[in-house]
Amino acid sequence: MAYTAETSPTSRVQLSFLDRVSNVPWPMLMLVVILCVVGVAMQYSAGGLNWETYAGDHLIRTALFFSLALIAGLVDIRLWFRVSYFVFGATLLMLLAVPFLGEEYNGAKRWIDLQVTRLQPSELIQVGFIMALARYLHGASWEEMGRPLDLIFPVLLAVLPIYLIMNQPDLGTSLKLMACLSVILFLAGLRWWLVLIGLGGGIAGAYWFIDRCLQLGIDAAGYQCRRVLVLFDPQLDLSGAGYHIHQAKIAIGSGGLRGQGFGQGQHNQLGFTPENNTDFVWALLAEEFGFIGCMVVLFLFTLLLLYGVVTALRARSQFGRLLAATLTANLFFYVVVNIAMNMGLLPVVGMPLPFLSYGGSALLAVMGSVALLTSIWIHYDVPVGSEGKLRQ
């Protein structure tokens, strides 16, 4: 595919440092800061009102990654364009190393122990994958998006990481990568008939998988199938695969309208809700701050997602538009899947809640998305591609 840059009489090729700082989307970053503060508070509560358990580390990581995101957000968008394939390649190499160097936890092998911290490449590759797709599809013509043969490369780009993540096993992240691939291809101009074929294939695949799980039954089902079966009937395995959903729903229900108060959620504080600092931090939030607190946090996420949509709409380069829109969609999938999982509407797939869940890799990936959205916002009218090359 040929790469072309959009230009207009008002397009700017070079921005000074002061121009970049003055154009920083501070309201969007303030939303991130507020959500991070909520996250630190939740980690403090999850650790038994103790800084040393989770909150201290989470605060340090959040402050460090946010600072790096702010710096990276000032970087010229054309530089991100140029290193997109490199970022994807680096994250793919880390993902390839997981089967050989990875550590197993709760039946899944997803982490690499670096001594100082544990790295989860499946989180980081999401950003690299979206960057690589946005660069490849930059400048794609309407005719090219209508020819199935021209879609082989972006599909092949997705096959290996999805296969590796599926084998960890991590069904949630692999499905999320498929969803991001679908979103970016659709936004790049994919024909409706191809969209319908893909949608039909996805529905058929889901039906086959669920039917297979039902035939196996809870005793013979594997790791992923058990999670699906207890979604339809949590009573099947209350002490095993259904335990997480059952306890989370109890915690959410006990919060009521206003919650039991900060640090006063007895179900969580007594340890009944597992992993209330990571995947089930939403259940902790619901028990302590109730429906009102959850709606406030959901409103903050909605505003942040709207900022991502506006960032995509105002970007004049195809690379910026596709990158901002798909990163925003990925963030949306994070939020929706985690909350639905906590409420028993989706299987437990190990999906963190951005900025609130404890962990390093997911937080780094989300902050990386914030950095790229910031850069796209600042450089919204800077041409990208052959006509917008960085001056040597």
For residue 113, the cross-strand partners are: 118
Residue 328, pLDDT above cutoff 50: yes
Residue 387, pLDDT above cutoff 50: no
Contact 229, 221 (CB under 8 A): yes
What pLDDT, on the 0 to 100 scale, is given for residue 219? 61
Residue identified by tokens 């206003």 is: 258
Residue 51, pLDDT above cutoff 70: yes
Q: Once rounded to an integer, what is the mean pLDDT over residues 173-201? A: 86
Top-confidence residue, 108 or 208: 208
What pLDDT, on the 0 to 100 scale, is given for residue 9? 46
What pLDDT, on the 0 to 100 scale, is given for residue 110? 83
What pLDDT, on the 0 to 100 scale, is given for residue 5? 41
What pLDDT, on the 0 to 100 scale, is given for residue 25? 95
Question: Which amino acid appears at position 180 of this protein?
Answer: C
What pLDDT, on the 0 to 100 scale, is given for residue 94? 93
What pLDDT, on the 0 to 100 scale, is given for residue 226? 76
Percent of the residues in the chain that have a pLDDT greater than 90, as a whole number: 51
| Cα–Cα distance, 354 to 102 (Å, whole number) | 24
Confidence tier at 333 by pLDDT (50, 70, 90): very high
Residue 80, pLDDT above cutoff 70: yes
Q: Any idea how long the chain is?
A: 392
Confidence tier at 337 by pLDDT (50, 70, 90): very high
Q: Quote the pTM value.
A: 0.90
What pLDDT, on the 0 to 100 scale, is given for residue 4? 43
Q: Once rounded to an integer, what is the mean pLDDT over residues 126-141? A: 90
Q: Once rounded to an integer, what is the mean pLDDT over residues 38-62? A: 93
For residue 109, the cross-strand partners are: 104
Confidence tier at 390 by pLDDT (50, 70, 90): very low
Q: Once rounded to an integer, what is the mean pLDDT over residues 318-326? A: 95
Contact 181, 154 (CB under 8 A): yes
A 10 A CB-CB count for 278 gives 20
| Cα–Cα distance, 285 to 294 (Å, whole number) | 7
Contact 385, 134 (CB under 8 A): no
> What is the residue extent of each domain of the chain?
17-190+242-385
| Cα–Cα distance, 254 to 261 (Å, whole number) | 11
What pLDDT, on the 0 to 100 scale, is given for residue 212? 80
What pLDDT, on the 0 to 100 scale, is given for residue 392? 30
Most confident segment among 144-153, 230-239, 245-254, 298-307: 298-307
Residue 256, pLDDT above cutoff 80: yes
Question: Which amino acid appears at position 254 of this protein?
Answer: S
| Cα–Cα distance, 325 to 332 (Å, whole number) | 10
Contact 220, 177 (CB under 8 A): no
Tell me the pLDDT of the chain averaged across its residues. 86
Contact 133, 181 (CB under 8 A): yes
- Give tens-digit pLDDT for 266-287: 888 887 888 889 999 999 999 9
Q: Once rounded to an integer, what is the mean pLDDT over residues 362-370? A: 95
Most confident segment among 199-203, 222-226, 259-263, 283-287: 283-287
Residue identified by tokens 């092998």 is: 109
